Structure 1
Amino acid sequence: MLFVLAFLSPLAYGQIFDFDKPNPYKKIFVETDNFDASYLNELEGALSSIKIDTIKFEVLNDLAYYWHTRNLSIALKYTEKGLELTSGKNNLVWNGRFQITKGAILLRQEKLDAAKIVLKEAETKVREEDLAFLNTQLGYIYERRGQLAKAADFALKSLSLGDKLNDKKAKGIAYSDLSNLLWKQGKYEEGLEYGLKSLLFFEERNIIDLDYDFTLYVVGNNYLRLKQYEKAKQYYERSIEIGERYGFYNNLSDVYISLVDLYAYRNQFSKAEAAGKNAIKYAYLLDNAFMLMRSYLAVGELQSQNGEHLAAIENIQKSIAVATPNFGDGFFLSKAYNSLGNAYAENEQYQEAYRAFTQYDSLNKIVFTAEADQRISQLQTEFNVAQKENTIKLQKTKLLQQQTNQNFIGLIAVFLFLILTVLFISFNNNRRKNILLRKKNDEKEFLLKEIHHRVKNNLEVVSSLLALQTAQIKDPKVASAMKESQNRVYSMSIIHKRLYQSEYLSSIEMKDYFINLGNHILDSFGEKTRIKIIYKMPELHLDVDTAVPLGLIVNELLTNSLKYAFPNKRMGEIIINLEKKSAYEIELLVKDNGIGQTEGEPVKGTGFGKKLIDLLNRQLDGTMQVIYTCGTQYLFNFKVNRLT
């Protein structure tokens, strides 16, 4: 589950703005996470180009909120600018949202009272969908004050709102906060369970963001306390990867603080020392006393464990100095005094150790009260009971739906039975009609084939008569003209022959037709050994009205090539290509490699063939181009109704 999102958002700079769109802003960490740590620069750069107020407020608020993960002072500057703009525009909702962001910044600046005031004021302005985030910030205030039960109350309020609005992020944050609170109480098993639930909600969103990153850290903390060190390390490393990608300095400082403990437990002191330095570095970059206090504390505890008691005392004292007077977090402050007491005791400074332990006991009683423990346990019970009640209600609703569905299915079954009865009767009637229609179609098909057969026979009779007549003629020119006429008749008879022999009665396949026509013409001229015809064309079916004129055109061009293109027994070849250019256009190419002719050269013979080609070309609404290079090429383009 941990690495589900690792591959959903590749480390690449995403396009956050597209000013050609009505809404140019692709909201960060909501619509996209496909960018790197420079995204704040892009938000800043685009701000002056945005004309629509609500989009400008949205970008400015995101700029303010995500700067608080790097530098609290800069974040506050952008927040104040947003409050000023929204007040000027009298936009209460967005003014309230900027107040929530301001509250988040103030509480991290240790100004807990001011944060609470501004958040309570925002509560009266914003919409219901904003309240889960607002309650989360209020919960953090009470957590920092050590009032863990009150903090848990606000986490559960956020969870309830998340359930109501089906807001996965709100539910994820609520479970994450409960996990962190249970961890602080030492309830690591329960804390781990809630943390893993939180990650499921975040991963369903398919967006990596600040809260998902923080939850990885919280889950790692629970694994650490359960002494599952390798598991904890995996979650910490994934959190660091996200933190470095987006510049989440607060989370990075958190994780490095925990890594100090992890490496110390595993006696990897050099790694623990390096982690401590990183924790302090990010705390200083963030300018956050809370992070700095905890970072010094982690380094001091490491030094104490490593026997460097004087250095440990110095760093833990720094931690306590950072934490007062407005620190407010009794949990970590009590932890600091306990560690200081241990360091003093190890250094044999027993009086100082006693004073430190006294402070620890005082703070510990405030944070870990029986009342707080009971309240959180009660909240857990209430939550579990509510979940079970919801489950029972859901089951009752499902049973009711099932009963309704069964009744509905019964009605549908009766209705379907009636429909099937009607359909069966209709089917029988249609089947009888189809048998009659099929019989009539078979009869018509037989008659059509018979017609094509008779037309073919009649054309062959005409061809034979022409052949007999040709045999009686002595004039070679007249005999040649008769032979050409015979070939023309034959070209038409082939079509009718193909039609009655084929399963298709309305179209003819042209390649096979041209092959038969070409062989016949070569045979009639006695040129099969000297002239070769190449058919560079795919299979193509055409209707009879198109096929007959095309056959006559090809017949004339083949005849012309055989008569004039290859004199003196010259060897040669003729290429025929017919292909479709679109659904309604075909192209015919007839090309020979003979002696060729020049443009404007007088027509050889009677010229009847050329006139026939022109006539047939116009009949097919075609265009003709003659190319006089390397032999002679005739290129035609014809419009047809539809190609098959």
Structure 2
Amino acid sequence: MLKYAAFIFFSLLIVLQATAAQDYSGDNNMLKRFKETEDPTEKFNFFFDSPNRYNDNSAYDWLDVVNSYLNITEKVGDSLASRQFRLMQAQIYYDMGDYDKSIAIANVLYASKDTMQPETREVLLDLMDETYAQLQFFDKQIDIRKEKRELGLTENIAFYDIYSNLGLHRKAMNDYIMEVKKTIAEDDFYGLAAYHNNVGNYLRLDKSPSTAITNLSKAKGFIEVYLNDLSRVKTEKEIVKGKILRGVIEGNIGKCYVQLGQYKEAIPYLENGIATIDENLIGQYSSDVVENSLALAEAHLQLENYETAKRYLDKDFQFKKVENILKRNRLLAAYYNKTQDFRNESFYLRKNFRLLDSIDFNESSIKKQQLVAVVAQEDLANSRRMIDAQKLEMERARSEMQAKDERINLVFISLIFTLLGFAGLVYAYLKSIKNQRLIAEQKHIIENSLVEKDSLLKEIHHRVKNNLQMVSSLLSLQTKNTRSKAAIEALEEGKSRVKAMALIHQKLYQNDDLSVIEMQGYIESLVNSVQSVFKKGGHNINITIDAEGVELDIDRAIPFGLILNELVSNSFKYAFPENMENGKIYIHLRKNGEQGFFEYTDNGVGLSEDSDERASSSMGIRLMNRLVNQLQSTLNIDNTTEGVRFWFNFK
């Protein structure tokens, strides 16, 4: 009977292959080559090893052929081949963006995963991992990753991408850097490109586009080196993968420029990103293409290229993410507002309102539950490790107790008088238990006191920040009632300095660690605050901040913040005339052990020849000198060929 079934199966395969030879022409046609492959396992390997399988035939053509083979294998009862064709079917639905159908098929296969070959099971688990990520079922995604770890397919469960999907982009970036950076070799150019792209994208999502562009530019450099490296032989699959990453990187750079309001600079990056992805991801759904197209529409709207913007908004995309639907409706409403079609504008605004009303509560509730699930999974894993360690400790203690009992028995047999010594040991043991309880109680009291102290400190910093904001508001009121230009400027400078100190206290009460301030985020916030005062928006001035990983205590952070406030304010006021382009500010802060170094440069007009005389009379320079003295250092000022440089060492 089995021989007869096998005969029918291979006969039908020959018929299908003959049909393929008639339907498709060309030696490079992937679907034709797929049909000409005889063994189902070889077909399976060919399918998943072909990154360009949709070049000549659409995903629907592939689906029809795979369904035909699936029907044949089910009729003849070949369960192994059936599972392989079903897995191909699930992958095609994923490529088409139909994630619900893909995961439904994958779940059926998952029930029989124990009977699969290791290679097939690995492909299934990877597909389920990616599909659950697209559907935002993070608890199920974690279960799949745990199984991959148990099977030895991965060493650790990574949570950073899940944190990012839940909106915790800064935590995602920190976890990603900690887990991934140490695993990348210096000559792994693709790995370095992917690493800097992910770090840059997390910064972009966390609303730090200037810093993000720095990392994304590094990523673009590494991927170009990877693609142009002729010394290493790369497969076609690796080349396509590298080109797709290049397209993703260019799209992310373009989206950063849109965030910065530099729309002309953004357009070529976004267009190149879309073209590269489309060229190398033929026939497959890509959320990057959707997001880049919406960013292009936004850029053209801002540049008043209304027809071009409308073309991008009218593209027939399958919007899988709610945020993309909301953004498209918002941009369409903006387009109709610009073209004075207020009826359509109102229509798309109402669509967003209805959509937001239907998802706001449910989505926030679901995300919170998923976040709790993620944390619970981490706690559960940690608890299990602790339990295992405790079991080992208990086994060791049990062994020690047994050895001790044996020694006591020997002592009792040989010398009965050792009973007194044993009694003394028991007494000491009981006393030690009592002491341990007292220590535990005192420790509990101390821990409660520390928690209370932290709460009080946070409340103090919060109130100080509120008081400083009130002072800033009073200065603003005074400014409105003052006519003297010199007095207004002095009040504005004072308000800026008050804001710099308030920002310190805000960062402190927002931190878990009340003793130090993370300077990269503080400097970014301070620079944004100064930019908003001078209304320059970063259009002509490129600001680079290099202070990643530096932390300072409040005694050094406050004078440092006031110094930086003076320097940035002076640059905006004096260094860059209105007609000057390509203005640059570079802020560098490093700390190595007990020693620190600060440097601030700009390429503006520089200091005048009488800067020494002005320094003695300028309140800003005198204030900076006193603040640097508080840091036990001396302020150094150098006129450079372009602009000016301030620097000092500190402890």
TM-score by length of structure 2 reads: 0.44
Larger-Rg structure: 1
TM-score by length of structure 1 reads: 0.45
